Amino acid sequence: MIAILEEERDDAGLASAWRLMGDVELTTLSGATATFERALVHAEAAGDGWQASDVRRWLVAVDMWSPTPVDESLRRIDRIVASAGGNPLVYATALTSKGLLFAMLGRFDEGRSMSRQGSDLLEDLHQTVWWAAGAQQAARIELLADDPVAAERVLRPSFETLHAMGERGYLSTVAALLAQALFLQGRLDEAEHFTGVSKESCDESDVISQMLWRQSQARVLATRGELESAERLAREAVRIGGTTNDIVGHGEALLVLAEILRIADRPGEAETALEHAIELFKRKGVVMLEYRAQAGLADLRS
């Protein structure tokens, strides 16, 4: 289709086609930034303001799942917002994205404030699906802050809204994060239930959900003493993470694997997993997760 549109020099069509390609690459976490930037060039060449704004909305969100360092991502988002001509949807999405990036640096008050502002604006704009999807970022802020109760509080209305709409793409990720928040509160049966919901609703190519439900289920199984099955799922999550550009998700999968290896009394292997996670977190500049992994490593060596 792109080849045909290029022959026709159809910029509006090319913007749409490259935008669809970006959607696919974002779902598989195979790197979508350059593709969305290409879509933006064509949208602007066509004078298509709606497509240009929609592409910018994705561009301010995509860096959360890219290897681009946090500080650089924050600067890039500000540049995109400045080029958006005050578009409120781009601005709202930027706030939710920046909120999580600030939390990665340990700046939780600023992160929460931005996340709430973005969420409120999305609600005012009647962007129901985008508002519910944005709860993922708000919940991740609370999980970084070691507050699973607050994470659950954010995720419950999001899950209920998406479920009532019959939406499955974002719901699978929200359900997996909810399972994680419930596990951290010691509510294993509920955590396993939402792990199952995530597994049933997620597409095979949705690698974020595929990693997350495996991590939550692995932790539940390890807590129950089913270590062989737990390790298998944890290693599957690590393998999936290694095929993507999402170095944070890959690192988080390694943290879960290290946790299970430690329960299995294999500290040497757990150390190796933590060292790999630390390397990934340093590349992204995720201070809080690097600190968490360093603390785990120090504890193992004590």
pLDDT tens, 209-218?
999 999 999 9
Q: Beta-carbon neighbour count of residue 9 at 10 Å?
A: 9
Q: Is the pLDDT of residue 31 over 80?
A: no
- Say if residues 201 and 185 touch (Cβ distance below 8 Å): no
Q: At 29, is the pLDDT very low, low, confident or very high (cuts 50, 70, 90)?
A: confident
Domains and CATH numbers, the chain: 208-295 (1.25.40.10)
Q: Which of 63-67, 204-208, 224-228 has the highest mean pLDDT?
A: 224-228
- Say if residues 152 and 114 touch (Cβ distance below 8 Å): no
Q: Is the pLDDT of residue 193 over 80?
A: yes
pLDDT in tens, 253-283: 999 999 999 999 999 999 999 999 999 999 9
Helix (H) or strand (E) holding 234: helix 227-242
Q: Is the pLDDT of residue 302 over 90?
A: no
pLDDT for the residue 11: 96
Q: Is the pLDDT of residue 230 over 90?
A: yes
Is the whole-model pTM more than 0.85? yes
Residue 18 three-state SS: helix
In this predicted structure, which of 10-14, 65-69, 274-278 has the lowest mean pLDDT?
65-69
Q: Is the pLDDT of residue 145 over 80?
A: yes
- Say if residues 78 and 42 touch (Cβ distance below 8 Å): no
Alpha-carbon span 172 to 178, nearest angstrom: 10
Alpha-carbon span 183 to 227, nearest angstrom: 16
Average of pLDDT values for 39-45?
Answer: 96
Alpha-carbon span 205 to 223, nearest angstrom: 28
Average of pLDDT values for 145-171?
Answer: 96
Contacts of residue 147, Cβ cutoff 8 Å, sequence gap at least 6: none
Q: At 26, is the pLDDT very low, low, confident or very high (cuts 50, 70, 90)?
A: confident
pLDDT for the residue 133: 92
- Sign (positive or negative) of CA dihedral 152, 118, 18, 49: positive
Q: At 290, is the pLDDT very low, low, confident or very high (cuts 50, 70, 90)?
A: very high
Q: At 32, is the pLDDT very low, low, confident or very high (cuts 50, 70, 90)?
A: confident
pLDDT in tens, 113-133: 999 999 999 999 999 999 999
Alpha helix locations (H) across the chain? Answer: 2-8, 11-27, 33-46, 49-62, 70-82, 88-104, 108-124, 128-144, 148-165, 169-184, 188-201, 207-223, 227-242, 247-263, 267-284, 287-301
Residues written for the chain? 302
Contacts of residue 113, Cβ cutoff 8 Å, sequence gap at least 6: 99
pLDDT for the residue 28: 84
Q: At 64, is the pLDDT very low, low, confident or very high (cuts 50, 70, 90)?
A: confident
Alpha-carbon span 231 to 258, nearest angstrom: 9
- Among 249, 180, 186, CA closest to 218: 180
Q: Is the pLDDT of residue 48 over 80?
A: yes
- Say if residues 210 and 204 touch (Cβ distance below 8 Å): yes
